[in-house]
Amino acid sequence: MRVLGIETSCDETGIAIYDSDAGLLAHTLHSQIDLHAVYGGVVPELASRDHVQKTLPLIRQVLADVGLDKGEIDGVAYTAGPGLIGALLVGAGIGRSLAWSLGVPAVAVHHMEGHLLAPMLEDNPPPFPFLALLVSGGHTLLIKVEGIGRYQLLGDTVDDAAGEAFDKTAKLLGLGYPGGPAISRLAAQGDPTRFRFPRPMTNRPGLDFSFSGLKTFAVNTLAREGDDGQTKADIARAFEDAVVDTMAIKCRRALKETGLQRIVLAGGVSANRGLRQRMKQLGEALEAEIYYPRPEFCTDNGAMIAYAGWCRLRAGESATLSIDASPRWSLERLSPA
């Protein structure tokens, strides 16, 4: 079965074709970073308009790349939430209509399930059950995963998401958007011993996160110490170390509490090098296996949507003819597939 995947939940148009026999056939991505960078963050209306312009040409391009006709697609998967409503409706509208016109099933994919299953596209996919840390611009979720659609939420953020904390702190440091890669680059030049930021909510039980205080810590440090280049790099380093360490502490706790031996890291922040190094150490210390998607599939992409869509289509799921999107949608509401 060949599934076309369409991702338009935020600021990236991602298109891919997944073949259940041959694997991922093709994928392409158009990033809107240049469009939003001048505003310092995503402007939802501009995002929707850009998806309108890019989605169909990218679908045609991906089909041409692999020499397929649209009639050779057996199913269409589109991100139906969570995300920006206007942006989601573009992918849902195009995906649902295309499937109808081709006479094939369509399936509405949960964006975070896409992230969660992205490591399944790699050579060494994680077997169930596992612990998943999903860290993106909008979410910070620790989940016990027993199978597709069998998700138990163990921890969540009580305020900013991990990626959001990176983006906001980057803005305060005068760095560009998106903030995660910018902080990460600057942090590499920072002195890890000059400042120590707190590890929020680690000194009490539980698996929830809180990251908003770290940006206040960054602002106060900047005001106190001055904003020369080295100080900014040292602050970026202290911030990154605090976020990474906090996540590692919670993962360790979650592994112990659940008895699980495998962790999947996914979502944009899982591209972070410091996090990968820290999790590698944790894995070695606890004899746990750590799985990631390749870096380009950590951030938003169409491949993960095509794959997650296939998992649901093969279980017989398909969307009704109505074009629906859910800007807010809990992973726990998904059904097993």
Please report, as ranges, the residues that interact with ligand KG4 according to CB under 6 A: 10, 136-138, 163, 166-167, 178-181, 184, 267-269, 271-272, 299-300
270 near Zn ion, judged by CB under 5 A: no
Q: What is the bridge-based pairing of β-strands 23-31 and 12-19? A: antiparallel
> Which of ligand KG4, Zn ion, none has residue 138 at its interface (CB below 5 to 8 Å by kind)?
ligand KG4
Q: Which residue number, 269 or 313, has a Cβ lying nearer to ligand KG4?
A: 269
299, 12 Cβ separation under 8 angstroms: yes
> Which of Zn ion, ligand KG4, none has residue 95 at its interface (CB below 5 to 8 Å by kind)?
none
Q: Which residue number, 97 or 326, has a Cβ lying nearer to ligand KG4?
A: 326
> Smallest distance, Å, CB 35 to ligand KG4?
15
The tokens of 75 are what? 């199913």
Q: Which long-range CB contacts under 8 A does 221-226 form with residues at least 24 apart?
A: 221/195, 222/172, 222/173
> Smallest distance, Å, CB 301 to Zn ion?
9
Give, as one character, the DSSP assignment of residue 205.
S
The order of strands in the sheet holding 75-81 is 23-31, 12-19, 2-7, 75-81, 106-110
Rounded-to-10 torsion of CA 291, 297, 299, 304: -100
Q: Which of residues 287-306 bind Zn ion (CB under 5 A)?
A: 300
Helices 212-225 and 229-258: crossing angle in degrees, nearest 10, is 160
Q: Which of residues 182-201 bind Zn ion (CB under 5 A)?
A: none
Q: Which of residues 82-141 bind Zn ion (CB under 5 A)?
A: 136
245 near Zn ion, judged by CB under 5 A: no
Q: Which residue number, 26 or 243, has a Cβ lying nearer to ligand KG4?
A: 243
Residues interacting with Zn ion, by CB under 5 A?
136, 300
